[in-house]
Amino acid sequence: MPSRKTVISASSGLWMKSLKHLVVFSSLCCLISGYSERERVHDLMSRYPLIDGHNDLALQLRILHNNQLSQIDLYNVSKVATDITRLQAGHVQAQMFAVYVLCGAQEKDAVRLTLEQIDVVRRMCTEYQDFELVTSAQELRNSEMKHKIACLISIEGGHSIDSSLPALRMFYQLGVRSMTLTHTCNTPWAESSSKIYNIYQRQNNSLTHFGKAVVEEMNRLGMIVDLSHTSWDTAWAALKHSKAPVIFSHSSSFSICSHGRNVPDWLLHDLKKKQGLIMVNLHSKFISCSDEANISRVADHFDHIKNVIGAESIGIGGDFEGAVSFPQGLEDVSKYPALIQELLQRNWTENELADVLRRNFLRVFEEVERVRDRLSLNRPSEVQISVKEVQNPCRLVLRPPDPRRPSDMSPSSRAQNGPKGLLILVIPLMLSSLLMIE
């Protein structure tokens, strides 16, 4: 008969062996579970690849490379968070590329600069075979079937049209399908959420008569009205006036982070009534109101907005290349699957996430086009903004030149007749007077 010591020793050995098996089994379960989650995300995003509402790669191409596409390889671009390789890794099937020019160009060369940015987007999306320039919801759908990354062009900032509806129409002809009414500066007809620039200040006039004409013409053309960067009053007025759904292409929840660029709940309810879309911005300052954030905090914005207006009103507008700091784990466009995994872990259904990833945007785009079709018999708007509202000294007033009027002279003539020119005229008169006195 075995001794008690032997029995204890044997039992201890069995217990240790069982413990090892348990540890191995537990580790294996964790490994399988983690693998399954990643595979689930991969499968979901393969079936419903992302339509991203905002990316400023074109801006960085100007800043870093002076728009010289021949000098870079868009499959591998340094110093940025976006290239073709990373877009593919992040399951980004369609990207709204912003054509943005600084507010300092307002009243100057904003239109020319915008044309140059449209040119660089059109070039990169036609010169690279993995990109495809699209201008309609159907073309967007077709590009997915062809396994292309669809490029949509969006103007960021209404100052790009220089208060001209004909300019707006010409941008549409070049492929622009969305425009934010403002950027960080007011236009003569719409108010920005930002107070950086002290221009075109108005009281109780967030969307002027001409501003409403811009919204109407965008509806008629089939161009998406984008309210990111606008003041809340301007957003509210545009929501009320637009006949088509509108979007916030890259804005987050004000209730989670009280930044003026984010959207308050009362405005979200109006957006819901309009069947519009808020595409959540990932910039850390809009996520956590600081330079640091994490994926969990980003998911808080999604959760809150879903609780307020439902998953059918949400999209994703990363704002990569347009902002400087992004949450840990979401540093570039390849990291989108990590966000979707976080939302799955928070019990978002695959159907809800399919809406967020692409179906919501497609619905809005198609409805914008349906409104366009209903308005197809309307003639192009001939509403013009008054010279008084624009207050732009660079605008040419069409009239025959009058050499007696300094304002009608050429820049060189004005220069000659400026302070130096006056001095040249005064000196001989003074000398003549002195000679007469003598």
128, burial (CB in 10 Å: exposed 0-12, middle 13-18, buried 19+): middle
How far CA 241 is from CA of 178, 180, 209, 237, in Å, comes to 17, 15, 11, 6
Residues belonging to the chain: 438
DSSP 255-315: TTS--TTSB-HHHHHHHHHTT-EEEE---HHHHTSSS--BHHHHHHHHHHHHHHH-GGGEE
Which amino acid appears at position 425 of this protein?
L
Span between the terminal Cα atoms of the chain, in Å: 146
How far CA 69 is from CA of 73, 77, 126, 133, in Å, comes to 8, 11, 12, 16
Would you please indicate which residues are annotated as catalytic (active-site) residues?
54, 56, 156, 183, 229, 250, 319
Running DSSP on this structure, what letter comes out for residue 70? Answer: G
Enumerate residues 6+ apart whose C-beta is below 8 A from 384: 165, 210
CA 389 and chain centroid, separation? 27
Within a 13 Å sphere around the CA of 335, how many CA atoms are in the beta-carbon half? 17
186, burial (CB in 10 Å: exposed 0-12, middle 13-18, buried 19+): buried
8 A C-beta contact, residue 238 and residue 270: no
Which residue, among 136, 164, 161, has the nearest Cα to 151 in the 3D structure?
136
